[in-house]
Amino acid sequence: MMTFPIQILPADLAAEAAALNAKLTKGVDLLSSLTDEDVDIGSTPKDVIFEQDGIRVYHYHPTVEKSKIIKTPLLIVPPLINGYEVADLQPDRSVVRNLLNQGIDVYLNDWGYPRPVDKHRTVDDYINGYLDEHVDFIRHYHGVDKIALFGICQGGTISTTYSTLHQDKISHLTLTVSPIDFDAYRAKHKPHEGLMFTMGADADVDKMVAVHGNVPADVLNVSFLMASPFILNFGKYADVIDILDDRPALLNFLRMEK
């Protein structure tokens, strides 16, 4: 007589169903009690010290004694397509706070949200226009010849280009998850590449810009989801059931989604 390889006992099945129901009930209650203020992002204290055309530069409040602050200030350059909060997600998961705690004087570019009029901006405007003005402002404010740049993702590509063109103004360049070798990204049939790169190789960006001005955010969102479609579209939401009754873990998830 053949037996089914996985033995499912009615008592175990009932206990698992009851536990899941309790978790869902608690999770629904927890979600309904949360407000937008609870899902706080970008909360490290800061001042706006420069603003132009919807673009801001933040100066973060120091967390160490003045005597311990490093002389060379640091400007963080996030990507144009993400909110600056990626560098300051929450108090216990914040690149900004970690840098401040090391005695670094931290500034950050907030590129803001593109308006229809901004479709006329070029890469040169961002690099040799806005970023150059921000660097000069910080240099003159601190009375130093050079500052440090920390580029995140596309912001790292921008920072690398700027540092190459303005070596007399940059003392250090640090990059994280920054695309540099675009010949590798253009290759269409490499086995390690994801669906996003394959799709991007055939995308008519010029036509998209001609029709929309700025590439719509929804197009960018869908494109990035295609990097790992099953995990990013379904997997992470299925996994959230496991943390639905855990307030700190749930808030971590919601902050990242926000």
41/89 Cα distance (integer angstroms): 5
CA nearest to 115, candidates 212, 224, 3, 237: 212
Q: CA 234 → CA 229, 237, 241, distances in Å?
A: 8, 6, 12
Token look-up 């029709």 returns 211
Are 119 and 214 in contact by the 8 Å Cβ rule? The answer is yes
Of 153, 158, 170, 175, which is the active-site residue?
Answer: 153
Q: Which of 148, 11, 176 is nearest to 73 (CA)?
A: 148
153 annotated active-site: yes
* Residue numbers annotated as active site: 153
